[in-house]
Chain A
Amino acid sequence: MAMNYNAKDEVDGGPPCPPGGTAKTRRPDNTAFKQQRLPAWQPILTAGTVLPTFFIIGLIFIPIGIGIFVTSNNIREIEIDYTGTDPSSPCYKCLSPNVTPCICTINFTLDQSFEGNVFMYYGLSNFYQNHRRYVKSRDDGQLNGDPSALLNPSKECEPYRRNEDKPIAPCGAIANSMFNDTLELFQVGNASDLMPITLKKKGIAWWTDKNVKFRNPPGTDPLEERFKGTTKPVNWVKPVYMLDSDEDNNGFINEDFIVWMRTAALPTFRKLYRLIERKNDLHPTLPAGRYYLNITYNYPVHSFDGRKRMILSTISWMGGKNPFLGIAYITIGSISFLLGVVLLVINHKYRNSSNTADITI
């Protein structure tokens, strides 16, 4: 290349662009953004900066955890399994489908009194309410009172969409499998007399569900008229407009129904059944003592190895009894505190060595 004669081969060999002329158009703007020199905060995660964070996390999390743990421990909760798989159980007889209606009574004792509002749940196990086929098997339009959806439910409801050429209201597998045991609670008094405990049906569903999402078909006629042309779900005994005598708790806006329709996340779940409101400040809502649980046993769970439970629980600001959160907070708090200490040691050693290195330079 001593002599660049071979540059002659250049096909497009125009002379290089003269300077000037194009120069102005090519000159980039000198903004900070384009030069990548925007003012910026440049944090770096070093032991020094992270250390206080670890300690702070530890110091905040541990007390929170203890608080939650104590709160959770103060919650009274009792669980009674009434599936009746055990032959000694009073409900054992109800496992056979022949006995209808089957009523069984389980007695239990509260060692401590339950104070404040007490919540009564029913719990089911191994019940896959979150199965895909099950979850989608509903028609929200129908449940919202849409008249067209009432008479022509969504295809998602199959195979619980129509029965004997009539649309099912409410359609779908969820509605069809609604929990239909009846639970009653009696306190055994001093003289072995049974005092029924008032169970409140309302206030167990989300307010928005009851008032917005779920609506009966429109109209001023009696509910039966409004549901005309539909039939009850296959497994139901009564049609949907006869779920309750209270007009405000009947049809689609029946709260038991609404609660059931909110599908549970996990195969073991509990759903709110009734409220037991506290009477006054002097007496505990459920004093310690013996109780009878009267069950109208309708709901078959034996076929799929399910379990049924009745749960009585008091509630704190953070809900029911759940030790997990408290323990987790305490654990994480301690770990981070410990890590803080470890880091402190490392940092200390490192700083020493780096200092000596600085000196040697």
Chain B
Amino acid sequence: MECCSLLRTLVHRYCAGEEDWVDSRTVYVGHREPPPGTEAYIPQRYPDNRIVSSKYTFWNFIPKNLFEQFRRIANFYFLIIFLVQLIIDTPTSPVTSGLPLFFVIMVTAIKQGYEDWLRHKADNAMNQCPVHCVQHGRLVRKQSRKLRVGDIVLVKEDETFPCDLIFLSSSRADGTCHVTTASLDGESSHKTHYAVQDTKGFHSEEDIDSLHATIECEQPQPDLYKFVGRINVYNDQNDPVVRSMNTFLIVYLCILISKALVNTVLKYVWQSTPFQDEPWYNRKTEAERQRNLLLRAFTDFLAFMVLFNYIIPVSMYVTVEMQKLLGSYFIAWDGEMLDEGLGEGPLVNTSDLNEELGQVEYVFTDKTGTLTENNMEFKECCVEGRVCVPHAVCNGQALPDASAMDMVDASPGASGREREELFFRALCLCHTIQVKDDDEVDGPQKPRDSGKRSAYISSSPDEVALVEGIQRFGFTYLRLKDNYMELLNRDSDVERFELLEVLSFDSVRRRMSVIVKSATGEIYLFCKGADSSIFPRVIEGKVDQIRSRVERNAVEGLRTLCVAYKRLVPEEYEGICKLLQAAKVALQDRDKKLAEAYEQIETDLVLLGATAVEDRLQEKAADTIEALQKAGIKVWVLTGDKMETAAATCYACKLFRRNTQLLEVTTKRLEEQSLHDVLFELSKTVLRCSTSLTRDNFSGLSADMQDYGLIIDGASLSLIMKPREDGSSSNYRELFLDICRNCSAVLCCRMAPLQKAQIVKLIKFSKERPITLAIGDGANDVSMILEAHVGIGVIGREGRQAARNSDYAIPKFKHLKKMLLVHGHFYYIRISELVQYFFYKNICFIFPQFLYQFFCGFSQQTLYDTAYLTLYNISFTSLPILLYSLMEQHVAMDTLKRDPALYRDIAKNALLRWRAFIYWTLLGLFDALVFFFGAYFMFENTTVTSNGQVFGNWTFGTLVFTVMVFTVTLKLALDTHYWTWINHFVIWGSLLFYVVFSLLWGGVVWPFLSYQRMYYVFIQMLSSGPAWLAIILLVTVSLLPDVLKKVLCRQLWPSAIERVQTSRFVSGPPLGSHPLASL
């Protein structure tokens, strides 16, 4: 069962969580193998791109065609008859039935053959159709059938796609293209497609040639509109752990080479004294003697390299990969991150980033659906300055009492009532909601009741909330039938409006309109949109009252929309029709022309009122944000909402506190001041703060600092990001970054999806190269999720696209807390120990070998037996560290959650910095010296057995090795803070395994070995008392400094983590929340 699920999860790891996928395929872009060190893929065989619509080939025509023909009952019947006639003596000659049958078959075969020949011809034409491919940086023409999976194809305008393609980049600057799918589904409209974010910058053939990526995607499937895949572009890694690992590796490589060089040089220096190189007892062979000195030196150098090569921990990568793979299961298994409502737990789409979760410095979060529930609830509407609140609000479900409402203001007059009804009608009509079909069967007759929530489908939850809210005021939208919108008014009459035009929503206009014709023949234009885009177009209505109400609502964190209308006389409508028609048929700049037309139409409106929809905060969102901030993570909210709404949400979730001083860079402010002035002013304010911050750090009171919050909107941001004419584009950016760095929270509102990614990129590539995390739930967050180092998708209501494109998906925002503070922390601690320990144990392993060269005439004699050399990393010391890296919990999970400040302890790659690395390396060197010289002084010119017999070089090596295995394993045991039975089993088990293996290895004359040098060496060693004493002594000495360092550091300069550990150990209740406690 376990194995089964493991296998399944393995298969699913890259399929982004779709349950029913059987398999995925991996495509190498441009046929380039992925670089070593990445996941190993099984190369797949793909068929070529030949189109075969023909049925037969030349060879199989006769048998296959005959078979086809005789499958027809009639033919088969005649055939049987014919055969019967042949076999037995029948009244009629076989020819009588045979000839016609033969004739029919013949004719049919010829016909089919001809048809098939035509098909062959058509196929060939298609298959030989030239296609432009990019190969080795050049454009190459290929026949279509010769295309292979992985080829990079260039398609020019109005060309037909030769095969299924993934859109890498386009000649348009924004990386889009327009595609018509007429030949697939008959739809001739142009669909816009976006290039993959990572590759859209590759424009020329040379650029494309440098692209090194693989694409993992699902197998071909019948659904034309669905494609899920993942592109891995290999480029410089910014993962701090991998970066550290690589630097450490380079250091060790340098050590390796210098060791080999030193030894080679010393060897020749040593040999220069006569008779050292070739004493009489140790002659060379003739061939060796003949060899050229340089060549000899070079081979010696290589031999030393081989001898010391174990210093580069090859198995480290395997272990790291294993750790990442297996470790990621703990996230998926976490029961605390399971959402009962959704019934879903976290998803891990990649395991490469587990430890980065512990290094996050910036969190970029979406607001809607991430911080908030995205569970819209109609709160109130404001008609003509009067506020109407639905009476009974019960989680979006109306009570049957349709007329229940609460008029806050005095009851309206007659005209007011008319306006009010118009307002409700407007809301009922001005939307793009579809009504689910199955309800429609009996829908119009039956009054809808509580089950109808699912009946409305819209891409925008706001619309659904509005239409449902209006229902409570007595107006129910029924359906759109034959271009007539039907609605049920307060008196339960069905009103029908003819839908004339829909001026659909776009994010630039931020509004939408419909033009409808009522039953009485009046033509209305209803317009609904953001206040900022409606108010300027209004000429009539109680603008001020409504505006103040809208602003009030926005401050409360409600999402507001304004509704306006305009009555059109038929002539006007004619004009509008013409305008729209002209724009729609325009061949060039259609979008622009349409926008212009809309602009012209949506003017001179009469303001009806405004609506407010509440999007409730997710549970524990505030708690999570607070914890993240305490953990030293900067939280940025990136939203498309307007400033007031967003700011209110930020206050609600404690991103901004009451004492937070807000700095604003908004369009409104920029109208008054130039960007330059604003930025400089702000940076001055902030810098004052940061200087005082350093001062306060000395006095140790930085906790109660004045903290700043920055609000910036999309327009201002694009100003900042825009390169200036004089070329000094970076100026503003740097300034802006400076300001941001000193703000505890940043809110970016009115963001376009791409701007979100831009912001993430800006931070990601700023000086400190911080690790960024983006979390979001909607399609509009995908770009930032992909851009950030760690992308987290909230399995939300706006589809699963974010979850699918993310590295991790969690059901709720609150799970981010455990994800970072617990899992991230653990993974980072584990992997850094893993990396450091690997280097440590290998230097312990190889340094004695190096020292031994000084005592064996630099002859590359190994200190240890081959079996020990091989098995040291593979089996004697591998499992304990792997299990450590899976199980270690230096602090209890609950403590980590309770005390987010502990996260700061590991920030900025703390455990893999040079200091730590040098400490580990020095410790390794020290231990190696202890092993080697301990054994050296033991063996030097004396005997250590009670029968006077002597030991040889293999016993010497075995002693060193034994001490080493014990020391290295016990060192890990000292580092382990969480001893489960598995740790006990593995640590003591691997020591036991070493002993048992050595006993066995030395206990038998192995017939397959050409040498028997280890025979009884280990046992003889154990029979000597001093060897035991030496092992105990040397292990103690090796471990002593590390223990001492640990104890002293903990006592004198304890980190927050150590303090928490100690306090739990000593006094029970944690002191860690008071960082000053022990000062």
Contacts and interface: CB of A to CB of B under 8 A. Distances in A.
Interface of A: 1-17, 19-20, 22-30, 34-48, 50, 57, 61, 64, 68, 117, 119, 121, 123, 127-138, 140-141, 144, 154, 156, 158-160, 173, 176-177, 203-206, 208-209, 212-213, 235, 259, 262-272, 275, 300, 303-305, 313, 315-322, 324-325, 328-329, 332, 335-336, 339, 343, 346-347, 350, 353-354, 357-358, 361
Contacts of B1036: 57, 61, 332, 336
B980 interface: yes
Interface stretch (B82-90, B639-647, B716-724): B639-647
Contact of B639 (A1, A6, A24): A1
Contacts of A131: 282, 856-857, 859, 861
B780 A7 contact: yes
B977 interface: yes
B368 A1 contact: yes
B779 A304 contact: no
A300 B280 contact: yes
A200 to B, nearest CB: 11
18 contacts: A4-B459, A4-B780, A14-B800, A26-B338, A34-B333, A35-B333, A35-B335, A38-B982, A45-B1043, A132-B860, A135-B953, A206-B949, A208-B1020, A262-B950, A262-B952, A268-B940, A322-B938, A325-B938
A31 B639 CA distance: 39
B979 interface: yes
B282 A11 contact: no
B109 to A, nearest CB: 47
Contact of A128 (B282, B956, B1016, B1061): B282
A265 B462 contact: no
Contacts of B512: 5
B102 interface: no
Contacts of A144: 1005, 1012
Nearest to B957: A265
Scoring A2, A6, A48, A300 by chain B CB atoms within 10 A of each residue's CB, the highest score goes to A2
A5 B459 contact: yes
Contact of B751 (A1, A12, A156): A1
B861 A339 contact: no
A3 B1043 CA distance: 60
Contact of A213 (B273, B506, B1015): B1015
Contact of B950 (A177, A264, A343): A264
Interface string B907-945: 000000000000000000000000000101111111111
A268 B936 CA distance: 11
A68 B1029 CA distance: 10
Interface of B: 19, 225-228, 273, 275-276, 279-286, 329-330, 332-336, 338, 341-345, 367-368, 432, 457, 459-463, 504-507, 510, 512, 530, 559, 561, 639-642, 645, 751, 753, 778-780, 795-801, 804, 826, 855-857, 859-862, 887, 889, 892-893, 934, 936-953, 955-957, 974, 977-983, 1005, 1010-1013, 1015-1016, 1020, 1024-1026, 1029-1030, 1033, 1036-1037, 1040, 1043-1044, 1046-1048, 1050-1052, 1061-1062, 1065-1067, 1071, 1074, 1076-1079
A339 B507 CA distance: 71
A158 B948 CA distance: 33
Contacts of A119: 943, 948
Scoring A17, A117, A204, A317 by chain B CB atoms within 10 A of each residue's CB, the highest score goes to A17
Given A2-B640, A325-B1033, A346 B1048 contact: yes
B76 to A, nearest CB: 47
Contact of B801 (A12, A159, A212, A339): A12
Given A4-B368, A136-B1011, A264-B950, 9 more contacts: A4-B798, A5-B432, A9-B779, A16-B799, A28-B332, A36-B893, A140-B1012, A264-B953, A266-B956
Given A16-B797, A318-B1026, A23 B343 contact: yes
Given A7-B779, A26-B343, A35 B334 contact: yes
Q: Which 6 A-B pairs have the closest CB atoms?
A: A1-B640, A23-B343, A177-B281, A265-B956, A119-B948, A34-B333
A346 B639 contact: no
Nearest to A129: B953
Contact of B561 (A2, A15, A206): A2
A80 to B, nearest CB: 14
A148 B1061 CA distance: 67
A38 B859 contact: no
B953 A133 contact: no
Contact of B1016 (A133, A203, A208): A208
A270 B1015 contact: no
Contacts of B753: 6
Contacts of A19: 341-343
B136 to A, nearest CB: 32
Contacts of A27: 338, 343, 345
A315 B1024 CA distance: 13
A304 to B, nearest CB: 4
Scoring B796, B801, B855, B948 by chain A CB atoms within 10 A of each residue's CB, the highest score goes to B948
A27 B130 CA distance: 52
A325 B1029 contact: yes
Contacts of A313: 943, 948
Given A144-B1012, A263-B952, A325-B1029, A133 B282 contact: yes
Contacts of A15: 457, 799
Nearest to A336: B1040
A173 B282 contact: yes
A5 B1016 contact: no
B889 A36 contact: yes
A30 B338 CA distance: 11
Given A17-B800, A23-B344, A265-B955, A303 B1062 contact: no
Scoring B330, B751, B826, B947 by chain A CB atoms within 10 A of each residue's CB, the highest score goes to B947
Contacts of A347: 1051
Contact of B505 (A5, A57, A173): A5
A30 to B, nearest CB: 5
A17 B936 CA distance: 69
B799 A14 contact: yes
B978 A269 contact: no
A36 to B, nearest CB: 6
B60 to A, nearest CB: 40
Contacts of B1026: 68, 318-319, 322, 325
Nearest to A332: B1037
A205 B856 CA distance: 24
A26 B345 contact: yes
A319 B226 CA distance: 80
A46 B1066 contact: yes
B282 A3 contact: no
A74 to B, nearest CB: 14
Given A4-B459, A36-B893, A271-B950, A46 B979 contact: no
A140 B1074 CA distance: 69
A173 B939 CA distance: 24
B1051 A305 contact: no
B1020 A173 contact: no
A205 to B, nearest CB: 7
Contacts of A204: 948-949
A332 to B, nearest CB: 6
B866 to A, nearest CB: 11
A22 B17 CA distance: 11
Contacts of B367: 1
A6 B779 contact: yes
A12 B228 contact: yes
Contacts of B1030: 325
A130 B1029 contact: no
Contacts of B974: 45
Nearest to B368: A1
Given A6-B780, A22-B343, A132-B859, A357 B1044 contact: no
Contacts of A47: 1047, 1050-1051
B943 A16 contact: no
Contacts of A20: 343
